[in-house]
Copies of this chain bind each other. A is one copy, B any other.
Amino acid sequence: MSNTAINLRQKLSLFEECWSPRVIAEMNDYQFKLVKVMGEFVWHAHADTDEVFIVVEGEMTLEFRDKTVPLAAGEMYVVPRGTEHRPVATRECSVMLVEPRGVVNTGDAGGAYTAPDNVWV
């Protein structure tokens, strides 16, 4: 049990790679991850879980097959389980994800953007 808080900006300063989530905390069997996003990710879904996006810095868009949801710093969105989505950002944007331990970033899609799971920063 830590003696200090987790500072999101300090953690973000420790890595540069985009689309590569870093775990910063666990609550029960859930993880809080920071990820930097820029450009267009792959369309994918997570069949078994909802996924929360909380924008820490910058702006991004969550594209769905039937709509587009803009997200700015201080805003969040819950992607329902099984729902195809694609994160997109025109400039680098920093996001906190909340989801169960073991969720892979590309969900059912796989491919080149698939990042190692459970990498802490």
Which positions in A face B, CB cutoff 8 Å? 1-9, 24-28, 30, 32, 49-52, 56, 64, 67, 69-72, 74-78, 80-81, 83, 98-100
Contacts of A8 in B (CB 8 A): 74-76
Interface SS of chain A: strand
Contact residue among B6, B52, B75 (Cβ-Cβ distance under 8 Å from A7): B75
Q: Which single residue of chain B is at the shortest CB-CB distance from A53?
A: B5
Contacts of A2 in B (CB 8 A): 69, 77
Contacts of A9 in B (CB 8 A): 74
A selection of 10 A-B contacts at a CB cut-off of 8 Å is A1-B64, A2-B69, A3-B69, A6-B75, A7-B75, A25-B76, A27-B49, A27-B98, A30-B30, A56-B74
